[in-house]
Amino acid sequence: MVDLTRVWDVLVAGGGNAALSAAITARRAGASVLLLEHAPRSMRGGNSRHTRNLRALHPAPTEVLTESYLEDEYWDDLLRVTGGKTDEHLARMCIRASQHAPDFLKSCGVVFQPSLSGTLSLSRTNAFFLGGGKALVNALYRTAEQLGIGILYDTEVQHIEVQDGFATEAIISHHGFPERVRFKALIASAGGFQANRDWLRKYWGDAADNFQIRGTPYAQGRLLRDLLDQGVQEVGDPTQFHAVANDARAPMEDGGLAMRLDCVPFAVVVNRDVVRFYDEGEDVWPKRYAIWGRLIAQQPGQVAFAVTDSKALHNYLPSVFPPYKANSIAELAGMAGIDAGKLEKVIADYNAAVRPGTFQPMKPDDCRTEGLTPPKSHWARLIDTPPYYCHPLKPGITFTFLGVKVSDRARIIMADGKPSANMFASGEIMAGNILGQGYLAGFGMTIGTVFGRLAGEEAARNVRN
């Protein structure tokens, strides 16, 4: 039975990896810890539930990682995806600390799988959780329970009383009932606002109605909004989010990883008006994975259609929902609800521009178009072998970039530049400090674990002093 009348040393708002890493660390340091998770038990864990791995620095092969992955390469990878929109000091600190993240998670009962093929060939840089993120979340909660951390599900932190950078109490909704919780230190790990459609609509208008939220529907950003409104410094572009090409028929929320489609490099992609809008074969899919969501979000109706033929069907992972399938392009267009004549012309023009080459599905090959705008730079083969297939695409949003500013000790920074006396943050709510744009596979879990541990340590130290 969790006592809501006492004063807790540390209140952790959130229930994903970042929250649990913080809670466990603080508890191990001797603090009494209360963790409040908005979701019910069955849906606990925020977006961590949908993750699969974390990116970890390692100077030599480990049980779960091959070869080596050092700071400079890691930093270069981050610099490339963020286009420089990062904080080098925080980023390098996080990268260095990532070396110890797998061992910390192992100490919490998380099991990693031996290095495997992996769908995006990430076994060198990323350690995979056996069974994925939900198994990780299960292990962390189990450890938290064993340590005596108070855990409440169906409990949303709605407001934090902040005076001069000092948080005094929380207003929460526990199974719909209002309660107050007093604490000595706060760790904000309640994620971004990507599931808050009204908030997205502020920047994206009606297009926001067509965005699929890949992860937890509980990422409403309520704590983020509350903290920003109370003088916490903001970081990251509020209008931006990470998004991938999802199946247009996926659930609007919580469809998870399996809804993503990676057929794009092997397809011709048109929008609702049956116009191609971007080079489908620009680079290998792992590098292009994260740009297609944004690209589709900018198209009319936020929808696109990837057209392939039977040659390409086995070059990409099978989709959950079967693609439209027809023996002619015109029939296929009918099934997709787009103009048949235009699609026939797009495919004919594309086929006429395809130059002969040697097809190599796993690396940029010399199959390309000539005289086509936009071009298809690699994997361009004739679309001429029925049956033809069409995958309808919509943007699937993973997370938003807006966050609270933190120090390299995970301490929240106020708008006037002063550190908060007793507020810390970890996870997506502060990931924007390091990830200003773009994404590096598995880096979200790294930030969550590294800053979770830091926040836990610092909060516990704060309470002791």
Partner 1 sequence: MLPENETTAEARRHMAVCNSCRYCESYCAVFPAMTMRREFSTGDLTHLANLCHGCKGCYHACQYAPPHEFGINLPVTFAEIRAQSYAHYAWPRAMGTLFERNGTVVTLAAALGVTLVLLLTMALVDPSILYTAQRGEGAFFRVIPMWLMVSLAGGTFGYAIIAMLIGGIRYWREVGGGAPAPGPILDTAVDIITLRNLGGGGHGCNDVDDAFSSQKRWMHQAMFFGFMMCFAATTAGAFYHHILGLRSPHPFFSLPVQLGTWGGMLLCLGTAGLIRLKIITDPVPVAKRLVGGEYAMLSLLFLVSATGLLLLVVRHTGAMGVMLALHLGLVLALFVALPYSKMVHGVYRGLALWRHAREKRSSGMVAAE
Pick the piece of the chain touching partner 1 (CB under 8 A) from 2-10, 84-92, 107-115, 222-230: 107-115
Residue 365 exposure: Cα atoms within 13 Å on the Cβ side: 17
**Amino acid code (one letter) for 456:** G
- Helix H or strand E encompassing 11: strand 7-13
Looking at beta carbons only, is 248 or 414 nearer to partner 1?
A: 248
- By rule CB under 8 A, what string of x and - marks binding of each residue 236-255 to partner 1? ---------------x--x-
Contacts of 409 (CB under 8 A, 6+ apart): 424, 454, 458
* Contact call for residue 359 and partner 1 (CB under 8 A): no
Q: Which residue of 43, 56, 354, 430 would you call a contact of partner 1, by CB under 8 A?
A: 43
Is residue 117 part of the contact set for partner 1 (CB under 8 A)? yes
Q: Where are the beta strands (DSSP E) in 299-385?
A: 304-309, 324-326
CB of 444 to partner 1, least distance (A): 15
Q: Among 4, 79, 135, 330, indicate the residue that binds partner 1 (CB under 8 A).
A: 135
We find the least distance from the C-beta atom of residue 415 to partner 1, in angstroms, to be: 37
Asked whether 409 and 459 are in contact (CB, 8 A), the reply is no
- Inter-axis angle of helices 340-353 and 329-336, to 10 degrees? 130
CA 95/CA 125 separation, integer angstroms: 12
Rounded Cα gap, residues 93 and 450, in angstroms: 9
The DSSP output letter for 283 is S
Distance in Å, CB of 204 to partner 1, minimum? 25
- Euclidean distance between CA atoms 244 and 247, whole angstroms: 10
Strand pairing class (150-152; 155-163)? unpaired
Instruction: Count the site residues for partner 1 by CB under 8 A.
Output: 35
**Counting contacts by CB under 8 A, is residue 437 touching partner 1?**
no
Q: Which is nearer to partner 1, 41 or 89 (CB)?
A: 41
Choice between 277 and 321, CB closer to partner 1: 321
Cis peptide upstream of residue 356 (ω within 30 degrees of 0): no
The verdict on 257 binding partner 1 (CB under 8 A) reads yes
Under the criterion CB under 8 A, does residue 288 sit at the interface with partner 1? no
Give SS3 for 375: coil
Of the residues 314, 345, 355, 464, which one makes contact with partner 1 according to CB under 8 A = 314
Among 107, 119, 327, 328, binds partner 1 (CB under 8 A): 119
First-to-last CA distance in the chain? 28
Of 126-134, 171-179, 289-297, 437-445, which part binds partner 1 (CB under 8 A)?
126-134
Instruction: For tokens 């028929």, name the residue.
Output: 249
Its sign, for the CA torsion 242, 246, 250, 255, is: negative
Residue from 16, 46, 132, 427 binding partner 1 (CB under 8 A): 132
Considering the complex, what minimum distance in angstroms separates the CB of residue 243 from partner 1?
18
275 near partner 1 (CB under 8 A): no
364 makes contact with partner 1 (CB under 8 A): no
Q: Which stretch binds partner 1 (CB under 8 A): 131-139, 169-177, 302-310, 417-425?
A: 131-139
Is 138 near partner 1 (CB under 8 A)?
yes
43 or 172: whose CB is closer to partner 1?
A: 43
Please give the C-alpha separations between residue 294 and each of 18, 200, 245, 262, 395, in angstroms, as whole numbers.
26, 14, 8, 15, 7
Beta strands in 231-373 (DSSP E): 234-235, 241-247, 268-271, 304-309, 324-326
Residues 77 and 317: their CA atoms lie apart, in Å, by: 25
Q: Say whether residue 317 binds partner 1 (CB under 8 A).
A: yes
Nearer to partner 1, 216 or 233 (CB): 216
Binding site for partner 1 (CB under 8 A): 42-43, 49-50, 52, 111, 113-114, 116-117, 119, 128, 130-135, 138-139, 142, 251, 254, 256-258, 314-322
